[in-house]
Each structure stands twice: as C-alpha cells, then as structure tokens.
A = this chain, B = another copy of it.
C-alpha cells in the first residue's frame, strides 16, 4: 500500500472534498477523519478549533499519511498557520487558498461569500481576495445554521430551503456574479443554493479546486501515487446517521467506518 492522504473536517462537510479527490486523483488512497463529536466547528473559538485540528493531524500522521488536507473552512481559517508551524515536515493544504486563487484571477464582478461565523469573523476570504485583486467588490454573510442542519441530515427539506431563503434573501447580494461556498458542508445543498439565486450567479465548486491543487502539490513534492487502485478509510469521533449516509452516497455501501476518539 502506498501512503494515504489525510483529510479532516468537523463532520460530513469534508466528504465533498474527499469525493472530489477520488474523482480528480483516482490513484490516491485516503484516510478521512470526521470530528462529529465536536461538530459543528463554526461556532467554536479559534483556540478550540486549533486544538482539535492538532489532535486530528497527529492521529492522521500516526497512520502514515503523506499529506494533510484541512477539508473544513473554519479550521482552514483559524488553524492552518498553527498546523504548518507545528508540522513543518508535512505537506498541509487548506480549502481556502485554491478557491481564492481561482476567484481572484478568473471571475469578474461582485463576489459573495457565505460561511460559518468562525470563518466570516476571521475575514480571511476578503483579506486574501483583496490581496490578489484590490478592486474586487466582496460581500459576505455568516449562515451558521446551514452546517448543523446538513450535519443533522436535513438536506433537500423545508428546513434547508427555509434557511437558505432566510439567509440569502438580502439586498447585499443584489447584482452578485459569483458565490463562494465558504464551508465544505455547503456543496451538499449546492443545488438548492443555485436554485435560489438562479443561473445568473455562478456558484464556485471548491472541492474540485482543492483536489486539483492537491494533485499539483503532490506532484511538486514527488508524493504522487502510481497505483491505480485506491483505498479509503473513514474515522469518526462519534457515529452519526448523517455521516454514514453521506459517506455511502459518495463511496458506496461497503465503506470502512471506525469510531475513534481524539
């Protein structure tokens, strides 16, 4: 077995990134850690999120992972620099930079960001977008109920549709051309969000951008896996119905799912 990639999130959200990695890099194996016991991260303090992220990274490295993907925007926003500092030998990717690079160079017009409270309060998307493109018009909104409702499995219900309407029916989004889903959970309700805005707004597919960046980074570091068969393992700090069902939807019925406290 070649060395796997380590991927983590507070829960089901990062599975959207894992699914994109499977699609874009079919030869790469991975170990996924969903910290369902502590989900959602989005309303926790930077210190708490950083502590959990460190513990999970240690666990993934103990499993011989060759690279770490922080598949959670809240952890990417507040814990990335600490992880890079504490694990200087390890290739670590966050989910924010690939999206910022793409949006700042490719898109035109007004950009919106929706994310958890932790991510929005960090201001990280605005800061990085404006660094690359100082003239960009950027608006953002915290949509803190979306991640927990996805974590509870309430996608494609009155609940998700009602919450999308309550949060996004806001004049600040008038004239929007691009929407960044600044939380890896949100692609699970991407169709509903796209439906709310209609075709005039382009919703950015972050998981695919992250998977492509990962492929490039692995190649640069001579870490690409020549294998053609990949192996996927899933660890959860607490088993939940939503996690099992989303993981099976993306990776099939026979997935290998283990409970593991951190």
Give me 19 other A-B pairs in contact (C-beta within 8 A), A145-B152, A158-B161 excluded: A38-B43, A38-B45, A39-B43, A40-B43, A43-B148, A44-B44, A48-B48, A145-B145, A145-B148, A145-B149, A149-B149, A154-B163, A157-B162, A158-B158, A158-B159, A158-B162, A159-B163, A159-B166, A162-B162
Hey, which chain B residues are within 8 Å of A152, CB to CB? Answer: 144-145, 166
Interface size on A, residues (CB 8 A): 20
Let me know if B157 and A166 touch, CB within 8 A.
Answer: yes
> Could you name 8 residue pairs across A and B whose Cβ atoms are closer than 8 Å?
A48-B48, A145-B148, A145-B159, A152-B166, A154-B162, A154-B166, A158-B161, A158-B162
Q: Which residues of chain B have C-beta atoms less than 8 A from A43's C-beta?
A: 38-40, 148
Chain A 131-162: CB-based contact to B (< 8 A → 1; otherwise 0): 00000000000001100110010100111011
- In the bound assembly, the distance between CA atoms of A161 and B163 in angstroms comes to 12
Question: Chain A 22-48, CB within 8 Å of chain B: the 1/0 string?
Answer: 000000000000000011100111001
A48–B39 alpha-carbon span in the complex (Å): 14
How distant is the Cα of A162 from the Cα of B158 in the complex, in angstroms? 6
Residues of B contacting A158 in the complex (Cβ-Cβ under 8 angstroms): 158-159, 161-162
Q: Tell which of A144, A145, A154 has the most Cβ of chain B within 10 Å.
A: A145
Inside 8 A of A161's CB, which chain B residues have their CB?
A: 158
CA distance A152 to B146 in the complex (A): 11
Complex contact A144–B154 (CB within 8 A): no
Chain B: minimal CB distance from A248 (Å): 20
